[in-house]
């Protein structure tokens, strides 16, 4: 049962990590169909990979400067790497199996040794590998394994030494604070992206528990943490750890807008919360879009934000004297879709317009033959006007 739960957690984490960029790519904010879109994509790639205009110019003049052939790895190197991975897997599996089988029979000291002791043993191995700069492919799994074992070990240590503690938040605060210092010192010395990631995770876990200990409402806590992480993400974009910026922006925006939704829903209604939160997400997506940064994330923001805003606005205007204002808003947003060249926003806007027309028909024109005919004629007229406008533009 334990292994099944672990497998489910891994699948969920992997799906979240790899799935959201795929969804963002499918609903990207810019299609590469003209020169302007291509330049925007090129600019984003240059910023992401720290490529200067001089390097692009040099490669443009002499394409042979790019080595397209991947360096070949010898069979000995492949075998060595394979055996190192297998060895690490078997060691961790053996430790985990031993702990699972004999945990109830162990004394307090032994439990601390097999968790916290193993964690510090892994830390020694990690520091040695980082210092010697050997086996760089092992840095990521070794760092994560070390962080996991140390965190578990410190919780076991506190539980064994203070068995009568009744506030889990104090234990979590001590463990997360200790681990934040651990990972922060390692990052300061070796400046790897994975160390920055683990350090930020522990720092924000510490802050989250600390705010909860101070009885700060969950909504305000989420807003504070999300806003601070937005600033951190902006700093990551300008640092060697820029690969973490996109993920940091995603978590920050989710955190911030979840807090905003919570507070507005408490102060007003869920409809207003959906409308204002959706507008907030879309404004953040627009800012990223206009700056040419994180275009995949801006597309995802347009998709989620507009869906929230449309649903909230529809619930607020439905069955009121001004319900036709909803159609006017979606028509105005259709113009914004064309200006922004956002397929994600276009998708939600079209669905919102079609949904409203279906609702309006069911409410006011049931069994009326003239209404669908009028809709078809209006559609033909709009298409004709659009075609005529494009011809006039070409002639000008």
- Measure the CA angle with vertex 105, ends 99 and 106; round to 5°: 65
In angstroms, the CA 266 to CA 259 distance is: 11
pLDDT of 34: 58
In whole angstroms, what separates CA 259 from the centre of its chain?
16
In angstroms, the CA 262 to CA 275 distance is: 12
Distant-in-sequence contacts of 201-206, Cβ < 8 A, 24+ apart: 202/147, 202/176, 202/177, 203/176, 204/229, 205/172, 205/176, 205/180, 206/173, 206/176, 206/177, 206/180
CA atoms within 13 A on the CB side of 286: 13
The answer to the question of residue 150 being in a domain is no
The answer to the question of residue 320 being in a domain is yes
> Contact, 244 vs 292, CB < 8 A?
no
Structural domains in the chain (count): 1
In angstroms, the CA 312 to CA 302 distance is: 15
pLDDT of 344: 81
pLDDT of 191: 84
The answer to the question of residue 264 being in a domain is no
pLDDT of 205: 92
Kindly tell me the sign of the dihedral angle through the C-alpha atoms of 223, 229, 233, 234: positive
The answer to the question of residue 203 being in a domain is no
The pLDDT averaged over each successive group of 10 residues in the chain (396 residues) is: 36 38 40 62 67 74 57 61 69 74 78 84 85 75 86 87 77 90 89 89 92 88 89 85 84 87 85 86 82 77 86 85 84 80 81 77 64 66 54 49
pLDDT of 369: 60
The answer to the question of residue 352 being in a domain is yes
Instruction: State which residues form the domain around 354.
Output: 272-367
The answer to the question of residue 357 being in a domain is yes
The tens digit of pLDDT for each residue in 307-333 reads: 888 888 888 888 888 888 888 888 888
The answer to the question of residue 158 being in a domain is no
The answer to the question of residue 330 being in a domain is yes
């Amino acid at each position: 049962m334990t292994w099944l739960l672990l497998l489910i957690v891994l699948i969920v984490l992997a799906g979240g990590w790899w799935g959201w960029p795929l969804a963002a790519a499918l609903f990207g904010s810019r299609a590469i169909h003209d020169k302007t879109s291509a330049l925007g994509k090129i600019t984003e790639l240059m910023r992401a990979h720290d490529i200067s205009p001089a390097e692009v110019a040099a490669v443009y003049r002499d394409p042979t400067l790019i080595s397209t052939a991947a360096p070949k790895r010898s069979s000995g190197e492949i075998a060595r790497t394979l055996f190192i991975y297998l060895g690490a897997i078997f060691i961790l599996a053996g430790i985990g199996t031993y702990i699972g089988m004999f945990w109830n029979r162990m004394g307090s000291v032994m439990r601390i040794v097999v968790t916290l002791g193993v964690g510090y043993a892994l830390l020694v191995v990690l520091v040695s590998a980082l210092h010697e700069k050997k086996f760089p492919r092992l840095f990521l799994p070794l760092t994560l394994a070390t962080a996991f074992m140390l965190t578990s070990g410190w919780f076991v240590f506190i539980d064994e030494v203070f068995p009568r503690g009744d506030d889990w938040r104090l234990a979590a605060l001590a463990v997360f604070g200790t681990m934040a210092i651990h990972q922060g010192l390692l990052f300061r010395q070796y400046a790897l992206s994975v160390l920055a990631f683990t350090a930020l995770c522990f720092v924000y876990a510490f802050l989250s528990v600390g705010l909860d200990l101070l009885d700060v409402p969950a909504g305000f806590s989420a807003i504070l943490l999300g806003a601070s992480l937005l600033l951190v993400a902006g700093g990551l974009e300008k640092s060697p750890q820029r690969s973490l910026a996109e993920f940091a922006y995603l978590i920050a925006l989710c955190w911030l807008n979840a807090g905003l939704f919570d507070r507005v829903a408490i102060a007003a209604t869920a409809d207003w919360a959906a409308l204002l939160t959706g507008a907030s997400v879309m404004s953040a997506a627009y800012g990223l879009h206009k700056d040419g940064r994180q275009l995949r994330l801006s597309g995802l923001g347009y998709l989620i934000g507009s869906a929230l805003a449309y649903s909230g606005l529809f619930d607020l205007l439905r069955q009121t004297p001004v319900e036709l204002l909803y159609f006017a808003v979606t028509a105005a947003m259709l113009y914004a879709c064309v200006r922004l060249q956002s397929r994600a926003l276009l998708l939600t806007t079209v669905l919102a317009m079609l949904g409203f027309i279906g609702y309006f028909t069911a409410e006011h024109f049931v069994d009326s033959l003239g209404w669908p005919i009028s809709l078809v004629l209006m559609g033909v007229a709009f298409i004709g006007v659009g075609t005529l406008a494009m011809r006039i533009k070409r002639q000008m």
